[in-house]
């Protein structure tokens, strides 16, 4: 027996030692890092890689080809990720952590900038790395800014709009109260009045932020401190809770993501819908759409005027570990140029970040919703800019969903939300 144990021990010990060595190698994942890396390779030129989620409408490849033809010594390789945002996020985190020099330029969702910047993974776009943001919509530039420093450059934008039935309401509501007042029309017709995205997922954060921001409240302040327990924020969440209570927002909207609401609207079962611009083309062209000629679009209704939309879209950032940052900087400028944005808008229906393009006659002819979207984005408020975004959005979703379901009072939900933010940030 003793003999047997001894024999077993040797390989076991070998394995254990090996494991220790390996874990020591992999252990250095923590720490802000990047402090030194941010000042290196600033004038490096050479081939780089651009990382982005799946290029569904095939707009990135032609641009990369165009760049490569003009810059034979500084070719860009396009690395395509999956089309799931969470997976894109996790892939970026993994490669930044590994200090991968091959992830030179990355497409960054507007809600990730603060997190990546605070981790020290993004090259500050200042001094020699400065790229002009002239003419860009201010709210989009705000999404790329953390602690007053620009880390990511806005590339495409997105904002919420109100889809309404022209045949039932000739003039769209300007304020939330006006809209709720119009719900009697929907009731007469036997259809639902208003819906957004109220299932418990990221869309709920978007909708709740819009309600709170539209009433003049906010979720976190400039320093990332919770400001959610205010009378304005309360009024915002209360407006949604009351909507459900009165039946103006149908109960099933608590299971709606973007698509369910769109289907209900296209089937003629919904009078007002808050959704993204992508719905416009589908509602106009879908074979199953019954509202092709009878729907219109308007800015989101707010307290006294247009509401505060939440911003979507993507920015571009440069990794601090890149070896060819000068090339990366030029590529950033190329990918956000007026010409490129026009191409994105016409070929991929991606909303531009340059204000002037929203009044471009050619573009408006192609994308008739641009003027409305401009109002939406001009009034937009970015989602909470905080490095703890994943925890913050969880706290918003869970507590506001409980309030919408009526299992928690609005006061309690906001108190819990604030407490949850505070424990997150101080951890």
Partner 1 sequence: MSANVDPQAKPETAVRKPDGGKGGSKEVGMDRKEKTQGRLAALLIVPTLVVLAIVILYPVINAIIMSLEHDEGLDPVTGTFVAGGFAGISNYTHWLFQQCTGPGGETVSCPPGTLGAQFWSSTGVTFFFTVVTVFFETLLGFWMAVIMARAFKGRSILRAAVLVPWAIPTAVTAKLWFFIFAFDGIANTLFNTSILWTGSEGPARAAIIIADVWKTTPFMALLILAGLQMIPADIYEAAKVDGASTWQRFRLITLPLVKPALMVAILFRTLDALRMYDLPAIMTGGANGTTTLSILVVNQIRIGFNSAAALSTITFIIIFIVAFIFVRFLGANAVETASGGARGKNK
Q: Which residues bind partner 1 (CB under 8 A)?
A: 4, 7-8, 10-12, 14-16, 18-20, 22-23, 26-27, 29-32, 86, 89-90, 117-120, 146-147, 199-201, 251-252, 254-256, 260, 263-264, 387-388, 390-391, 394-396, 398-399, 401-402, 405, 416-417, 419-420, 422-427
The smaller minimum CB distance to partner 1, of residues 79 and 119, is found at 119
Of 425, 417, 420, 418, whose CA–CA distance to 387 is shortest? 425
Of 62, 336, 83, 384, whose CA–CA distance to 223 is shortest? 384
The smaller minimum CB distance to partner 1, of residues 212 and 345, is found at 212
In the complex, least distance from residue 337 CB atom to partner 1, rounded to whole angstroms: 30
The smaller minimum CB distance to partner 1, of residues 60 and 395, is found at 395
Q: How far apart are alpha carbons 86 and 99 in whole angstroms?
A: 20
String of DSSP letters for 16-33: HHHHHHHHHHHTTT-S--
Burial of 163 (0-12, 13-18, 19+ CB in 10 A): buried
| DSSP 8-state secondary structure symbol assigned to residue 362 | H
In the complex, least distance from residue 115 CB atom to partner 1, rounded to whole angstroms: 9
Q: How far apart are alpha carbons 56 and 172 in whole angstroms?
A: 33
Q: How far apart are alpha carbons 104 and 279 in whole angstroms?
A: 34
In the complex, least distance from residue 208 CB atom to partner 1, rounded to whole angstroms: 12
In the complex, least distance from residue 25 CB atom to partner 1, rounded to whole angstroms: 10
The smaller minimum CB distance to partner 1, of residues 335 and 385, is found at 385
In the complex, least distance from residue 65 CB atom to partner 1, rounded to whole angstroms: 33
What residues have CB less than 8 Å from 204, skipping those under 6 apart? 197, 198, 396, 397, 400, 401
The smaller minimum CB distance to partner 1, of residues 236 and 250, is found at 250
Burial of 332 (0-12, 13-18, 19+ CB in 10 A): buried
The smaller minimum CB distance to partner 1, of residues 16 and 65, is found at 16
CA 11 to chain centre: 51
Q: What's the token pair of residue 184?
A: 């009697």
The smaller minimum CB distance to partner 1, of residues 40 and 202, is found at 202
In the complex, least distance from residue 416 CB atom to partner 1, rounded to whole angstroms: 5
In the complex, least distance from residue 419 CB atom to partner 1, rounded to whole angstroms: 4
């Amino acid at each position: 027996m003793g003999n047997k144990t001894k024999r077993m021990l040797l390989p076991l010990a070998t394995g254990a030692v090996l494991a220790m060595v390996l874990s020591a190698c992999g252990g250095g994942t923590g720490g802000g890092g990047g402090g030194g890396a941010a000042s290196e390779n600033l004038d490096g030129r050479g081939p780089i890689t651009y990382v982005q989620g799946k290029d569904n409408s095939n707009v990135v490849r032609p641009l990369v080809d165009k760049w490569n033809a003009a810059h034979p010594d500084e070719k860009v390789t396009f690395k395509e990720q999956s089309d799931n945002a969470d997976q894109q996020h996790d892939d970026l985190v993994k490669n930044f952590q590994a200090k991968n020099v091959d992830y030179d330029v990355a497409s960054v969702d507007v809600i990730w900038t603060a997190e990546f910047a605070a981790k020290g993974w993004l090259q500050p776009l200042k001094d020699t790395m400065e790229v002009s943001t002239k003419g860009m919509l201010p709210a989009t530039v705000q999404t790329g800014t953390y602690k007053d420093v620009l880390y990511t450059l806005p590339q495409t934008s997105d904002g919420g709009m109100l889809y309404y039935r022209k045949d039932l309401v000739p003039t769209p509501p300007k304020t939330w109260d006006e809209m709720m007042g119009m719900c009697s029309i929907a009731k007469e017709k036997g259809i639902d009045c208003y819906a957004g995205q109220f299932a418990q997922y990221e869309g709920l954060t978007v909708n709740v932020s819009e309600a709170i921001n539209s009433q003049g409240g906010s979720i976190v302040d400039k320093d990332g401190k919770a400001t959610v327990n205010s009378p304005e924020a309360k009024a915002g969440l209360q407006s949604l809770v009351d909507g459900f209570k009165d039946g103006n927002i149908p109960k099933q909207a608590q299971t709606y993501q973007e698509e369910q609401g769109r289907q209900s609207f296209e089937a003629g079962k919904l009078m007002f819908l808050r959704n993204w611009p992508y719905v416009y083309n589908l509602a106009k062209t879908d074979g199953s759409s019954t509202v092709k000629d009878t729907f219109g679009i308007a800015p989101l209704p707010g307290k006294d005027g247009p509401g505060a939309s939440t911003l979507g879209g993507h920015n571009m950032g440069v990794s601090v570990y890149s070896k060819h940052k000068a090339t990366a900087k030029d590529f950033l400028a190329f990918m956000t140029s007026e010409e490129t944005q026009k191409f994105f808008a016409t070929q991929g229906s991606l909303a531009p970040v340059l204000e002037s393009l929203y009044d471009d006659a050619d573009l408006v002819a192609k994308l008739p919703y641009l003027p409305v979207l401009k109002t939406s984005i001009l009034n937009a408020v970015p989602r909470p800019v905080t490095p703890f975004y994943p925890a913050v959005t969880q706290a918003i979703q869970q507590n506001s969903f409980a309030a919408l379901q009526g299992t928690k009072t609005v006061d309690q939900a906001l108190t819990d939300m604030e407490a949850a933010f505070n424990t997150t940030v101080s951890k």
